[in-house]
Amino acid sequence: MNKALIITGITASGKSKVCVELAKKYNGVIINCDSKQIYKEIPIITAQPVELESIPHKLYGYVSAQVNYSVGLWLQDIEKEVKSAWKNLQLPIIIGGSGLYIKSLVSGLSSIPKIDDDIRVMSRNLYEELGKQGFYELVLSKDRMIQGKIHENNFHRLLRAFEVVTQTGKSIFTWHKETTISILDNFVMYVICPPRNCIYNKINKRFTSMVELGVVNEVKQLFDMNLNPWLPAMKAHGVPEIIKYLKNEVTLNEAINTAQINTRHYAKRQYTWFKNQFSNAKFIDDSARLIELDF
């Protein structure tokens, strides 16, 4: 029976480092499950792994930031990589913190029709016009099923819910009940959830380190591409904040501080999301413990 190992968890929880050791131990191939680490122009700010030669790493830095990439496209790509690993008698080690990607991988993807471009543009314009609270109330008026399921601060999920109900006339949660079949039927999932104060400190240090590694220049090159600000790559953690600095709207220290705060808020949401979505997964508080386990 073909097996797979899924390692997910809170951002900055040490997933990448431990997966290299696991790949060495189990003759594994590391396959990316992070929705921003796929973009080739932003390796520093998305913390893409640097140890790519000693262990096979797949689906990292292979998509242009100009592409409006989606979970549906990623599922097609990862299916090829997983099957290739099995064909070569290797263990697929799927790693990343993007909850929607992992959820779609193990539970299937809902069969929501493609959203028209004009609806996408209209949705974003409405958000900018109405603001966070006003847009939330608008979405709620069209889709009562979001109440208690999507927080008003979760812009991406709110926007998606609005697009879906506008395009199809049905709630996104109704569509979620109609899903495709997962390509994995024999896998083990570990969720790394270290103590929050530990994660928050690592987030702060990691972003400071990114600045030292040249992340400002990396984002400047991305900014100079004149991309649509709604493209996924433009919303990677830290990118909007550094762009504000490049536009002389804030100081570099202000940009760093805001990026750290926003990433900590994201990590906080991850703790809740993983526990609610993956109750059957194995939760651990220290990534190093994975090396000691038998899979």
- Summarize the chain as % helix, strand, coil (round to 5): 55, 10, 35
Q: Is 8 known to sit in a ligand binding site?
A: no
Cα(116)–Cα(232) distance, integer angstroms:
17
Tokens standing for residue 50? 């640097």
Give me the phi and psi of 49, to 5 degrees please: -65, 145
DSSP-assigned letter for residue 144: G
27: left (phi over 0), alpha (psi -120 to 50) or beta: left
Cα(173)–Cα(144) distance, integer angstroms:
10
Q: Is 11 known to sit in a ligand binding site?
A: yes
Cα(147)–Cα(89) distance, integer angstroms:
46
Q: Is 10 known to sit in a ligand binding site?
A: yes
- H or E stretch including 93? strand 91-95
Q: Is 70 known to sit in a ligand binding site?
A: no
Q: Is 13 known to sit in a ligand binding site?
A: yes
Q: Is 36 known to sit in a ligand binding site?
A: no
Q: Is 14 known to sit in a ligand binding site?
A: yes
Contact assessment for residue 100 and residue 152, using Cβ atoms and an 8 Å cutoff: no
Task: Provide the CA 275 distance to its chain's centre, in angstroms.
Answer: 16
Q: Is 9 known to sit in a ligand binding site?
A: yes
Tokens standing for residue 248? 């002389």
Q: Is the dihedral of CA 47, 53, 57, 61 positive or negative?
A: positive
For the sheet containing 57-58, what is the strand order? 57-58, 28-32, 91-95, 4-9, 187-192, 282-284
Contact assessment for residue 178 and residue 242, using Cβ atoms and an 8 Å cutoff: no
Cα(114)–Cα(291) distance, integer angstroms:
42
Q: Which residues are annotated as a binding site for substrate?
A: 11-16
Q: Binding site: which residues?
A: 9-16
Annotated binding site for ATP: 9-16
